[in-house]
Every structure is written in C-alpha cells, then in structure tokens.
Amino acid sequence: MKTTLEANQASYETANTTRASRNLHAPDLTQRPPRSPRSRLGGYALLPRMLDKGRATLAGTNGEYHYNCPLDQRFFSFVGIDSKKLLAELKQGQGDGEILAWIEANAKHQRAPWEIQQWSDFMDRRGPDSDAETMKFFADYVAKLTTTREDIKTWADLLELDDFVSFGGKA
C-alpha cells in the first residue's frame, strides 16, 4: 500500500512530465502572433519574437511562423549561438530570463551593452536591401497587406503589419 508521501510524489512526477511535454511557455501562434520584432530581452531586438517561434515550433503551434528564419539568423550570427542548441534549451521549458542567461553564458561573441543597443536599433530601422529583387519582394509584400499605408518602410514595420492583418486587423 502506498503511503500518502509516495502517492503525492507519483502525482507530482506525473504532473511535471505532463507540463514538460506541453511546454507551458509555448504560445499558440495559430491564435495570436509572436511578440513584436521591436520587443527587447536583454537589450536584444528580435529575441522575444524568436523565442515565441521556437517554443511554438516545439509545441507544434507555430502556424505560419518559422523558427530560424533569415531574420532569426541575423540574431544567431550577431551573438554566435547555434539555432539547434537554443532550441534544445527551449525544449527544457526555461523562461525568458533563463534563456537570456544561457545565451549570455554561451555566446561566442560577447557583446558590450552599447553594441547590443546599436545592433538592436539598426534591426528596428532596417529596411530592404537596395537590390532590385529584395525591393520588389518588400513592395509586393506590403501591397498584399495594404494599398493605403505609405509608412511601412522597415522589416519590423512589415512584420507588425502582417501580424495585425493575419489575425483580423484591417490595414
């Protein structure tokens, strides 16, 4: 016969296994967009959005969003972290603060706060590259979302507009 302590222990272990498999930190990106590319964590732009996409990918709730997309790869390149290793950390169910600490401890490129600030500010203001193909892609993408908005100039502007329209907003 199990003692109360043993029964509680078994119940606790079952609950923790269930929680880990559900990854309670994972947003459902079929129901709402990830955080804005302008959101910051540890001063890094893009990072909160990328973490949302990574967690949702692990949970199978990423919808149309892609972890390790070209924008995410800019972050990985800047800090010197492998996308698969970060995904493995996310799989452990760690929160944003724990993931930031892991990034800071494992980054190949240890950045000063001013470097992080300048990189993040640049990412906030980064528009399409000047080659014709990229400019056309950007213009066509904006045109699919709106014919009246002339203020969409950066990738962050475009992603925020796409998130808004994708979930029922009117541009």
Q: Identify the DSSP state of 23.
A: T
Q: What is the pLDDT of residues 117-154, one digit of tens each?
A: 999 999 999 999 889 999 999 999 999 999 999 999 99
**pTM for this model (two decimals):** 0.83
Return all residues near 70 (Cβ < 8 A) that are at least 6 apart.
none
How far is 155 from 36, CA to CA, in rounded Å? 11
How far is 67 from 166, CA to CA, in rounded Å? 18
Answer for the pair 166, 33: CB distance below 8 angstroms, yes or no: yes
Q: For position 5, what pLDDT does the model report?
A: 41
Residue by residue, pLDDT tens for the chain (171 residues) are 444 444 444 443 433 433 444 445 899 999 999 999 999 999 999 999 999 999 999 999 999 999 999 999 999 999 999 999 999 999 999 999 999 999 999 999 999 999 999 999 999 999 998 899 999 999 999 999 999 999 999 999 999 999 999 999 988
* Amino acid present at 106: N
Q: For position 12, what pLDDT does the model report?
A: 38
Q: For position 24, what pLDDT does the model report?
A: 54
